Amino acid sequence: MTLDRIDYRILHYIQNDATMTNTELAEHVGLSPSPCLRRVKALERSGIIKRYVGIVDAAAVGLPISAFVSISLHTQDRDALEAFQSRVRTYAEVMECYLMTGTSDFLMRVVVPDLQAYERFTDKLTRIPGISNIQTSFALKPVVYKTELPLAEAERPLTAG
């Protein structure tokens, strides 16, 4: 799917408020409702819009601690990487996990209610075979936290998918 400026504007508004009605969205991007809805549906079908979610304040629901955990494995063969990935996907505390280049193999962002919960999490983590090193840094406070992609940086049309 090739994106044009109207598609980028639709994505911009949806990223900022996915509860906006199609009529409101159409007004913002300068379309009538029917063509706007067709574009939104095309963005959904193509996988550019993956899903719609509500963003919950972690501290407000009792999860004030964010930890960034770097993991190194003994070996980086396909089986070891896949075994680790499949296991951490099942851990509710893991909000994000990335396969990395550099000194660590994985970087995770974890949320927990307290240090005791983090200790229980590390107990689970250390049971995964093949881990050689775990390093944790605790966030003192968020400085920047965004969920919106910087679509204004994408000035030219591009082909996705």
pLDDT (tens digit per residue) in 65-98: 999 999 999 999 999 999 999 999 999 999 999 9
Give the integer Cα–Cα distance in Å for 11 and 15: 6
Q: How many other C-beta atoms are found inside a 10 Å radius of the C-beta of residue 15?
A: 14
10-69 confidence digits (pLDDT tens):
999 999 999 999 999 999 999 999 999 999 999 999 999 999 999 999 999 999 999 999
pLDDT at 21: 98
Q: Which CATH number fits domain 5-54: 3.40.50.300, 2.40.110.10, 1.10.10.10, 3.30.470.20?
A: 1.10.10.10
| This prediction's pTM | 0.86
Contact criterion met (CB below 8 Å) for 107 and 98:
yes
The neighbour count for residue 29, using CB atoms within 10 Å, is 19
Residues near 103 by Cβ (< 8 Å), separated by ≥ 6?
70, 72
Check if 5-54 and 59-138 are the same fold.
Answer: no
pLDDT of residue 86: 97
Q: What is the CATH number of domain 59-138?
A: 3.30.70.920
Q: Domain locations in the chain?
A: 5-54, 59-138
In tens, the pLDDT along 100-157 reads 999 999 999 999 999 999 999 999 999 999 999 999 999 999 999 999 999 987 655 5
